[in-house]
Amino acid sequence: MTNTNWQTTHRNKALLLENVHQAAVNFFQQKGYEVEFIDRALSKAELLAKLADYTILGVKSKTKIDAEVLQQARHLKCVLLFATGFDNVDVKTANELGIPVFNAPNANTRSVVELVVAEMVLLLRRVYDRSVALKNGVWQKDWHNCWEAQGKNLGIIGYGNIGSQVGQLAEAFGFRVFYYDVFDKSPVGQATKCDSIEELLQYADVVSLHTFAPSGKPVFTREHFQAARKNFVILNFSRGSALDYEALVEFIKNGKVVGAGIDVFPEEPEVNGPGFYHELQQLPNVILTPHIGGSTEEAQERIAEQIIQVLDSYLTTGDTSRAIKVV
């Protein structure tokens, strides 16, 4: 089935959600689009009620765009993902309907990489707990269970753009880097390739996840926690589904995991504000962040610039060469 929506004479209207960068708003206004800008995600019911009248939809990662939403959006020309991932969109259905989906696959890589490596150092030094204690008036000068990065082994699971650059930057801190990926990836720098997660865990003092679980089952499981070395640190900046969080809590409590940096969760609030709870909040040497790995001024501007570039080409010439395609 082929959708010729991009040729429609319906009035051009853009719906931009989740507080996308102002540059995108400016672009559409300059092109003569009627723009509605909303600083949050919309529920499926809200999308179904609103989207039928729009030709462009721009979102980040919170808004879920399934087959029903796409099928009912009769005037939709394309979907813009102001993000690197695309698992919140039914791309297969979009492809079948002839609705191109564009994203910015590498725009926030550096932002994520810097935060991941920074947290590795903070967790090894147990900085966060001591900072909280000092803010509460408690002086905790101590060197026990505090380690340098130099000479430690970093295991990276998922060696794409982010994982490989984490390895490069970590090497500058003195880490020895090991990596595993389901695809055959060549090493960058001095990294050593492993044939399995189990092999990687023989070496890793720090484990960093940069993968996702298409099956919905965790990539890093309870069995992996059991197989890991004692006193290891783990970070997840990929997807909430990539890690067994119940097992993580258990292994922090029994002392095998001595630090964790978590930026993503299986369930995340749709809007900013109070009310979030997770058992990890109560545990020592755990840094929790609200899915902000790629949230910098520079990254958001790069994402908007990349999206605008591919969109301008599409609207001008019909070019879909950079649209996401799935088999």
As a whole number of angstroms, the distance between CA 5 and CA 165 comes to 39
Q: Which of 86, 108, 126 is nearest to 231 (CA)?
A: 126
Of 21, 176, 239, 302, catalytic: 239
State the residue for tokens 């926030």: 108
As a whole number of angstroms, the distance between CA 151 and CA 148 comes to 8
Q: Which of 122, 114, 239, 236 is nearest to 165 (CA)?
A: 114
Of 40, 75, 130, 291, catalytic: 291
As a whole number of angstroms, the distance between CA 221 and CA 203 comes to 17
Q: Which two tokens stand for residue 204?
A: 């890793």
Side-chain half-sphere of 283: how many Cα atoms within 13 Å? Answer: 24
As a whole number of angstroms, the distance between CA 201 and CA 81 comes to 35
Q: Is 268 a catalytic residue?
A: yes
Q: Is 239 a catalytic residue?
A: yes
Of 148, 268, 270, 298, catalytic: 268
As a whole number of angstroms, the distance between CA 34 and CA 153 comes to 53
End-to-end CA distance of the chain: 15
H helices of 17-155, in order, are 22-30, 44-50, 67-72, 91-97, 109-125, 127-135
Q: Is 302 a catalytic residue?
A: no
DSSP letters, 140-208, are ----TT---STT-EEEEE--SHHHHHHHHHHHHTT-EEEEE-SS-----TT-EE-SSHHHHHTT-SEEE
As a whole number of angstroms, the distance between CA 171 and CA 151 comes to 10
The helix (H) or strand (E) run that includes residue 37 is strand 34-37
- Which phi-psi region, left, alpha or beta, contains residue 57 (left: φ > 0; alpha: ψ -120 to 50)? beta
Catalytically annotated residues: 239, 268, 291
